[in-house]
Amino acid sequence: ISVWVLQADIDVAVQLLLKLKVDYKQMTGQDYKAGCPPSENSVPPDNGPAVDGADDEDTVDPWNVSTTSAKGVDYDKLIVRFGSSKIDKELVDRIEKVSGQKPHRFLRRGIFFSHRDMHQVLDAYEKQKSFYLYTGRGPSSEAMHVGHLIPFIFTKWLQDVFDIPLVIQMTDDEKYLWKDLTLEECHRFAVENAKDIIACGFDINKTFIFSDLDYMGASPEFYRNVVKIQKHVTFNQVKGIFGFTDSDCIGKISFPAIQAAPSFSNSFPQIFGGRKDTQCLIPCAIDQDPYFRMTRDVAPRIGYPKPALLHSTFFPALQGAQTKMSASDANSSIFLTDTPKQIKNKINKHAFSGGKDTVEEHRKYGGNPDVDVSFMYLTFFLEDDEQLEKIRQDYTSGALLTGELKKILIETLQPMIAQHQERRKQVTDEIVKQFMTPRPLNFNI
C-alpha cells in the first residue's frame, strides 16, 4: 500500500459511513450497531418529507449554508465535524500578548471562532519569523453587502497589528464556471468589488489584489503550483470534498487547485522571490474550509508548509440566521450601496425580531437576543462591549423594545455605510490598477 494514504480519502469514507448510518436509521428506526441486524418488527419512523438531514445536521459548504435553528448554525458541532480547533480565551489572550494590541471585537465575541495552526503562526512570529495573509472574494455581482466585509475588516486589523503583507484573490474564474455570467461580467465585477475592498483601508504598500483571469496567465510560478496541486488530488477526493457529480463541467473540478495556490508563498515571486517557506494565514468564513482542508493535505507532499486558518461565523440574513445572506436577494441584506433611508426601511421591515407580539407581553416576558437579527448585527458592528451587554440585558428583561433595538442598529449602520461610500468614491481606477499590479511589497520577512 502506498504510504500516501490520503486524509481526504479517509474523510470521504467516513462521510459515506455516516450517511449510511443515517440511511439505516431512516429505514429501520434504530441506530446501527455492528453485528446486530434490525429486529423483525422495526418500523421506519414517519418523518414526513423531512428525510434530508434527518439528524438536523446543518448544511455548510462553499455554495450552501442552512440550518433549522433560528439561532443559526451550531458552530461547536461544526468544529467537531470539520476537525478544526476552537478559538478559546487562551488563544485570544495570546494574540493580544504577541500583537501588543487589544483583540479585535470579532475575536472578543467569538465571531472568529475556529482555527487551524494559529499557535504555530504565533510561535514563529515570536521568533521573528514573519507570515503573510491570504483571503479572497468571489465577485458574483457589482454590489457587495455588509456580510462580505467581515473577513476584510478582520484581515485589515491583522495586517495592521502584525505589519505583514496580504494577497487578495478575486475568483472571477470561479463565478464564470458556477454562474450564468459572461467572462467579461465576472472580470468587471472583480474590479468593482476590489474598490469596496480597498475602501476598507488596506495599505497599498503591503497589499496585492489579483483577478485569477489576469494573474494566472501572467505568472508562470502561480500556474506551476496550480498544476502541482492538481496532480496530487484525485477526482474521487474532490467529489467527496465538494460533492461534484459527473455532470459538472471539468472547470469546476479543477478550480479548487486555483483557490489553493495562493496559500504558497512562491506563487508570488514578485513579493517573496523564490521563497516557499513563508507561512500563510487565511482568515475566511468557515464555508471555505473544504478548499483549505484539501490544500493542507497536499502541502507537505509538494514540499510546502500547510496554511493556517482563522474561521468566522456567518453573517445572518435579515430574515433570520437560518441562512447566510444572498447577494441576489436585495431584501436579505444591507448592501454597501444602500442609502440611509433604504437601511432604515430594510431593518424596520425585514429584520427578524426576537421580541414578543405585543408591547405588554414584551415588557412582561422580555425578548430573545439569541434569535433577534438586529442584536446579532450589533454584535458584529458595535465596538463598545459594555454597551452591547447592556442592550442584551435590557432586551432580555423587556426594558428595551424591538423598535428601540432596531433604531440602535439603524443609527450604527447608517454612518458606517455612509463613511464606506465616501471612501469608495476616493478609489479611482488608477488606484485599483496599482493594487492589482504584481510588484514587490514593503515588509520585513
The grid coordinates listed for 416 are 458606517
Residue type, 25: K
Pairing assessment for the beta strands 207-211 and 279-285 based on DSSP bridges: unpaired
What's the pLDDT tens digit per position in 160-218?
A: 999 999 999 999 999 999 999 999 999 999 999 999 999 999 999 999 999 999 999 99
pLDDT in tens, 267-319: 999 999 999 999 999 999 999 999 999 999 999 999 999 999 999 999 999 99
CA 407 to chain centroid: 28
Question: What's the pLDDT score for residue 55?
Answer: 52
Give the pLDDT score at 322.
81
Lowest-confidence range among 38-52, 325-339, 360-374? 38-52
Q: What is the DSSP letter of 69?
A: -
Amino acid letter, 39: S
**Between residues 126 and 326, the one the model is more confident about:** 126
C-alpha–C-alpha distance, residues 204 and 42, integer Å: 66
Inform me whether the pLDDT recorded for 44 exceeds 50: no
Q: How confident is the model at residue 13 (pLDDT cuts 50, 70, 90)?
A: confident
How far, in Å, CA of 103 to CA of 68, rounded? 32
pLDDT digits (tens, 9 = 90+) for 341-391: 999 999 999 999 999 999 999 999 999 999 999 999 999 999 999 999 999
pLDDT tens per residue, range 117-176: 999 999 999 999 999 999 999 999 998 999 999 999 999 999 999 999 999 999 999 999
pLDDT at 54: 40
Q: Please list, residue by residue across 128-167, b when 16 or more beta carbons sit within 10 angstroms of its beta carbon and e when fewer do.
A: eebbbbbbbbbbbbebbbbbbbbbbbbbbbbbbbbebbbb
Q: How would residue 34 be classed by pLDDT, with cut points 50, 70 and 90?
A: low
CB atoms near residue 439 (< 10 Å): 13
CB neighbours of residue 3 within 10 Å: 4
CA distances from 308 to 118, 120, 134 (A): 6, 8, 10
- Show the domains of the chain with their CATH numbers: 60-318 (3.40.50.620), 340-426 (1.10.240.10)
Answer whether 156's CB lies under 8 Å from 166's CB.
Answer: no
pLDDT digits (tens, 9 = 90+) for 20-33: 776 666 666 666 66
Q: Mean pLDDT across the chain, nearest whole number?
A: 90
* Residue 81 CA to its chain's centroid (Å): 16
pLDDT of residue 444: 76
Q: 41 or 204: which carries more pLDDT confidence?
A: 204
Least confident of 35-49, 74-88, 130-144, 342-356: 35-49
